[in-house]
């Protein structure tokens, strides 16, 4: 068992944690303030969240730190939060922490990497469109994107999310999903353009 | 709003979408996080984790033992005699409803490829390379020669140590045995089979395609897979990169039920190949347009009958448990266009809108026709096959697209019987009501009429689409000079 103390919380990385422990049981441990919850989430979701972090922060040490911060943030958030979807909850925390780290590291100069590329690609959707009220609520935009994603076939939706949420490169998507790199790239491009059309139709661009 | 706002909005999308897509990252949801000294990239991206490995090892120890038993006689790969070839072709033609008899024979460069009798393409003791022992290791760190356990590709040849470029989980070649690996990669070659020309489609071979679609008889037992190495040629194409993989367990951590559903044998070892070609190939084909669920158009190149120029890479899994590597065949309907090929349609990957950019092809499609006869010069050709594929495996860019306008002249598709007694519009007016004008992609104008009695009021005045045509409607066809060229009644099939 590895032990890591961070912000007063002792993390136990327990590789003997039961493999079949459910998300509900882990959340209960959080509520009981049982530190084994950390050990269990790191065992169950370490690889998954690690991938999320690693795609934003290329530096392994930064990624490792962000992953630890993710468990800490989960520890601080649950309770009161009671996530129904623990994996998604943790992935979102991991991503937000990594983005904050990325922004901090790139405050003065926007560097390379997938985040920069993703931002560049998304700029196409909004370029030269000045007809949107500046204070348009992000929530409305997110809702529209959610609606758009519902219209997509599952595989295309997953590819889009892998690109623009998980920030995977076309090559990584190809490898993960089992398509050619070209297929992945074309699917991303077409879906992005379809999103642009969808948002335009709804007056959001 | 700027791109950052959009990025942030996407960041807040429904968690369901995140976890759905996240499944591609979590090869095993119970995979342990191991904060060790191992390279983080290995840890974070390692697709196969301990839990899956343990389970797989148990399955595959049994599977490998069973496999050894299966590696019995392999048929000689000598080319068959001319008679055998002829017999094989005849049988084939009969199955396909007389394709050979009607002159629809293959004209591709690979007609002359030796046809191997694959009635029992298994491995014989004498042909199967003996696993190596410690004695035939070369001096030095890296062993050479055939692996000490059975690992063969679709060419029925044993994999050698020196062909392996990667072993997942970092097992060294020296320590490699039949149970301590998950994925073996051989970068540098792939398995392909020459095309035999088995391409049928509803435009060129309407009778055969009907038989194929209805009788479900379309197989290619004659495909003979062999290796193609980086730098080698396939016709005018040069292999830019080639790779193949062997898996001890199926992809994506499928459980036994999922494996059975997909027809995977438990002992699946050959997992897939990919090849990227440099160079161009010119192909007589149909450009077929498919509009997907989201309204986006996807274009496919389907080779015309006998015009296959690219090799076959897809394996059918049905007999894989016997280590018979049979070529997979496609059978598919894209709108009104049906085809059945020994290789899937080629997905056009150009990141362009074919309708408005370089080729401007959309104007040639019509409500009546979602395919065009073309000669296409393709480049950036990518062939890939993976046992768990979700996409068809050939994609290419279109460098030049020559649309054969004369061949695409609109035929009275599903429209028949010129009305002899209604030669003028005035005659038509006397028996019908006008509904709408329609145009095809060639400037021909349709005017659709209908007998009053056969059309309901709610359709009149609406835009007519092909699917709304009903038997009994009368269609006036105009040419591009607005001259009435014919009157037809529509007959539903």
- What value of ipTM does the predicted structure carry? 0.71
Average pLDDT estimate for B125-134 = 41
The C-alpha atoms of residue B100 and residue B105 are separated, in whole angstroms, by 5
Name residues 256-295 of chain B within 8 A of A (Cβ). 274, 292-295
CA of B108 vs chain A CAs: smallest distance (Å): 26
pLDDT greater than 80 at residue B197: no
Asked whether the beta carbons of residue A180 and residue B274 sit closer than 8 angstroms, the reply is yes
Longest dimension (CA), chain B: 96
Name the band, by pLDDT with cuts 50, 70 and 90, for residue A35. confident
Residue of A nearest to B3 (CA): A123
B40: which chain A residues are within 8 Å (Cβ-Cβ)?
50, 54, 60, 63-64
Residue of A6, A11, A47 to mutate for B, most B C-beta atoms under 10 A: A47
Q: Is B279 exposed, middle or buried (0-12, 13-18, 19+ CB in 10 A)?
A: middle
Q: Fold for domain A113-201?
A: Arc Repressor Mutant, subunit A (1.10.10)
Domain regions of chain A by residue span: 2-105, 113-201
SS3 A108: coil
Asked whether the beta carbons of residue B49 and residue A47 sit closer than 8 angstroms, the reply is yes
Angle at B426 between CA B424 and CA B431, to 5 degrees: 100
Greater model confidence, B289 or B137: B289
Residue of A nearest to B27 (CA): A48
Average pLDDT estimate for B447-462 = 42
Name the band, by pLDDT with cuts 50, 70 and 90, for residue B164. very high
Average pLDDT estimate for B34-54 = 31
pLDDT greater than 90 at residue B194: no
Q: Which residues contact A157 (CB under 8 A, 6 or more apart)?
A: A149, B17, B20, B21
Confidence at residue B191, expressed as pLDDT on a 0 to 100 scale:
93
pLDDT greater than 70 at residue B292: no
B379: which chain A residues are within 8 Å (Cβ-Cβ)?
none
Number of domains in chain B: 2
What are B283's strand-pairing partners? B376
The C-alpha atoms of residue B152 and residue B166 are separated, in whole angstroms, by 16
The C-alpha atoms of residue B316 and residue B389 are separated, in whole angstroms, by 12
Asked whether the beta carbons of residue A119 and residue B7 sit closer than 8 angstroms, the reply is yes
- Containing B192, the helix (H) or strand (E) segment is strand B189-192
CA of A198 vs chain B CAs: smallest distance (Å): 10
In this chain, the answer to whether the domains covering A2-105 and A113-201 adopt an identical fold is no
A88: which chain B residues are within 8 Å (Cβ-Cβ)?
15-16, 18-19, 22
The C-alpha atoms of residue B76 and residue B278 are separated, in whole angstroms, by 33
Residue of B nearest to A16 (CA): B32
CA distances (Å), origin B144, targets A76, B162, B178: 55, 5, 16
The C-alpha atoms of residue B5 and residue B481 are separated, in whole angstroms, by 52
Asked whether the beta carbons of residue A47 and residue B44 sit closer than 8 angstroms, the reply is yes
Asked whether the beta carbons of residue A165 and residue B11 sit closer than 8 angstroms, the reply is yes
> Taking the domain A2-105, which CATH number applies?
1.10.1740
Whether residue B454 lies inside any domain: the answer is yes
The C-alpha atoms of residue B391 and residue B345 are separated, in whole angstroms, by 11
Q: Which residues contact B268 (CB under 8 A, 6 or more apart)?
A: B247, B249, B250, B259, B317, B320, B387
Task: Give yes or no for B37 touching A (CB within 8 A).
Answer: no
CA of A179 vs chain B CAs: smallest distance (Å): 6
Q: Closest to B15 (Cβ–Cβ): which among A88, A145, A181? A: A88
- Percentage of residues of chain A with pLDDT beyond 70: 74
Angle at A54 between CA A51 and CA A60, to 5 degrees: 130
Name the band, by pLDDT with cuts 50, 70 and 90, for residue B296. low
Q: Closest to A88 (Cβ–Cβ): which among B19, B34, B382? A: B19
The C-alpha atoms of residue B371 and residue B151 are separated, in whole angstroms, by 43
pLDDT greater than 60 at residue B186: yes
Confidence at residue B366, expressed as pLDDT on a 0 to 100 scale:
62
Average pLDDT estimate for A131-136 = 46
Asked whether the beta carbons of residue A145 and residue B388 sit closer than 8 angstroms, the reply is no
Q: Which one of A48-62, B111-125, B278-292 scores highest in mean pLDDT?
A: B278-292
Q: Closest to B382 (Cβ–Cβ): which among A64, A178, A182? A: A182
Query: pLDDT averaged over chain B?
Result: 61
CB B444 within 8 Å of CB B410: yes
Asked whether the beta carbons of residue B390 and residue A179 sit closer than 8 angstroms, the reply is yes
Alpha helix stretches (DSSP H) within A57-205: 60-77, 86-105, 113-126, 138-151, 154-164, 170-177, 181-201
The C-alpha atoms of residue B21 and residue A88 are separated, in whole angstroms, by 10
For residue A39, give the nearest of A68, A64, A7 by alpha carbon: A68
Asked whether the beta carbons of residue A142 and residue B12 sit closer than 8 angstroms, the reply is yes
Identify the DSSP state of A150: H
Residue of B nearest to A163 (CA): B21
Confidence at residue B229, expressed as pLDDT on a 0 to 100 scale:
95
The C-alpha atoms of residue B36 and residue B33 are separated, in whole angstroms, by 9
Whether residue B32 lies inside any domain: the answer is yes
pLDDT greater than 50 at residue B401: yes
Give the per-residue SS3 of B373-400. EEEEEEEEEEEEEECCCCCCCEEEEEEE
B294: which chain A residues are within 8 Å (Cβ-Cβ)?
151-153, 156, 191, 194
Q: Closest to A47 (Cβ–Cβ): which among B33, B251, B293? A: B33
Q: Give the dihedral sign, CA A99/A102/A107/A110.
A: negative
Lowest mean pLDDT among A117-126, B163-172, B261-270, B476-485: B476-485
Domain enclosing residue B21, as ranges: 3-52
CA distances (Å), origin B169, targets A48, A63, B45, B180, B267: 18, 21, 11, 9, 20
Average pLDDT estimate for B211-220 = 67
CA distances (Å), origin B155, targets B151, B164, B223: 11, 16, 11
Name residues 125-164 of chain A within 8 A of B (Cβ). 125-126, 129, 132, 134, 136, 138-139, 141-142, 145-146, 149, 151-159, 161-162, 164
What are B288's strand-pairing partners? B300, B371
CA distances (Å), origin A60, targets A72, A173, B282: 18, 20, 47
């Amino acid at each position: 068992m590895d032990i890591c103390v961070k912000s007063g919380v002792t993390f136990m990385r327990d590789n003997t944690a039961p493999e079949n422990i459910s998300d509900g049981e882990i959340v209960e441990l959080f509520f009981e303030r049982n530190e084994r919850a950390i050990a269990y989430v790191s065992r169950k979701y370490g690889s998954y969240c690690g991938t999320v972090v690693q795609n934003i922060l290329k530096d392994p040490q930064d990624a490792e730190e962000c992953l630890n911060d993710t468990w800490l943030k989960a520890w601080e958030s649950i309770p009161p939060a009671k996530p129904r979807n623990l994996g998604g909850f943790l992935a979102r925390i991991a991503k937000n922490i990594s983005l904050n780290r990325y922004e901090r590291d790139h405050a003065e100069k926007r560097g390379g990497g997938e985040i920069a590329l993703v931002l560049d690609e998304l700029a196409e959707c909004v370029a030269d469109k000045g007809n949107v009220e500046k204070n348009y609520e992000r929530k409305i935009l997110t809702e529209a994107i959610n609606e758009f994603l519902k219209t997509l076939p599952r595989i295309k939706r997953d590819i889009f999310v892998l690109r623009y949420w998980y920030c995977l490169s076309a090559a990584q998507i190809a490898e993960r999903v089992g398509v050619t790199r070209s297929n992945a790239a074309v699917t991303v491009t077409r879906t992005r353009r379809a999103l642009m059309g969808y948002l335009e139709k709804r007056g959001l661009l | 709003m700027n791109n950052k706002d959009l990025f942030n909005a996407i960041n807040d999308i429904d968690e369901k979408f995140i976890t759905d897509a996240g499944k591609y990252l979590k090869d095993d949801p119970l995979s342990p996080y191991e904060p060790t000294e191992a390279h983080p990239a290995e840890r974070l991206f390692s697709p196969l984790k301990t839990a899956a490995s343990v389970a797989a090892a148990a399955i595959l120890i049994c599977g490998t033992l069973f496999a050894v038993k299966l590696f019995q006689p392999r048929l000689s790969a000598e080319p068959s005699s001319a008679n055998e070839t002829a017999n094989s072709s005849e049988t084939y033609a009969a199955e396909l409803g007389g394709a050979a008899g009607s002159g629809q024979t293959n004209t591709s460069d690979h007609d002359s490829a030796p046809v191997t009798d694959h009635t029992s393409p298994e491995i014989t003791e004498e042909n199967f390379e003996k696993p190596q022992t410690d004695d035939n290791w070369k001096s030095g760190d890296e062993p050479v020669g055939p692996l000490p356990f059975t690992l063969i590709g679709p060419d029925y040849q044993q994999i050698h140590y020196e062909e392996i470029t990667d072993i997942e989980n970092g097992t060294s070649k020296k320590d490699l045995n039949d149970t301590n690996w998950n994925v073996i990669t051989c970068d540098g070659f792939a398995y392909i089979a020459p095309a035999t020309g088995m391409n049928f489609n509803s435009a060129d071979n309407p009778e055969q395609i009907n038989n194929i679609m209805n009788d479900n008889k379309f197989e290619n037992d004659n495909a003979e897979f062999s290796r193609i190495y980086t730098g080698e040629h396939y016709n005018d194409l040069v292999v830019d990169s080639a790779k193949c993989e062997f898996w001890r367990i199926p992809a994506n951590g499928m459980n036994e039920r999922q494996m059975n559903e997909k027809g995977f044998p438990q002992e699946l070892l050959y997992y897939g190949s990919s090849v990227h070609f440099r160079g161009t190939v010119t192909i007589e084909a149909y450009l077929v347009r498919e509009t997907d669920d989201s309204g986006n158009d996807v274009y496919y190149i389907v080779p015309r009958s006998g015009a296959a120029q690219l090799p076959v890479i897809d394996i059918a899994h049905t007999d894989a448990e016997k280590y018979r590597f049979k070529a997979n065949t496609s059978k598919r309907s894209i709108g009104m266009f049906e085809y059945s090929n020994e290789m899937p349609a080629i997905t056009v990957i150009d990141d362009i809108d074919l309708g408005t950019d370089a080729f401007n092809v959309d104007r040639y499609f019509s409500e009546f026709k979602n395919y065009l006869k073309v000669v296409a010069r393709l480049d950036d050709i990518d062939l890939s096959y993976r046992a768990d594929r979700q996409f068809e495996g050939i994609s290419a860019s279109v460098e030049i697209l020559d649309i054969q306008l004369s061949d695409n002249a609109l035929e009275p598709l599903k429209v028949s019987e010129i009305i002899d007694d209604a030669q003028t519009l005035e005659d038509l007016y006397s028996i019908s009501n006008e509904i709408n004008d329609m145009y095809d992609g060639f400037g021909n104008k349709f005017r659709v009429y209908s007998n009053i009695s056969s059309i309901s009021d709610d359709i009149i005045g609406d835009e007519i689409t092909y699917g709304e045509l009903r038997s009994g409607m009368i269609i006036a066809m105009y040419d591009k000079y607005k001259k009435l060229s014919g009157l037809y009644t529509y007959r539903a099939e």
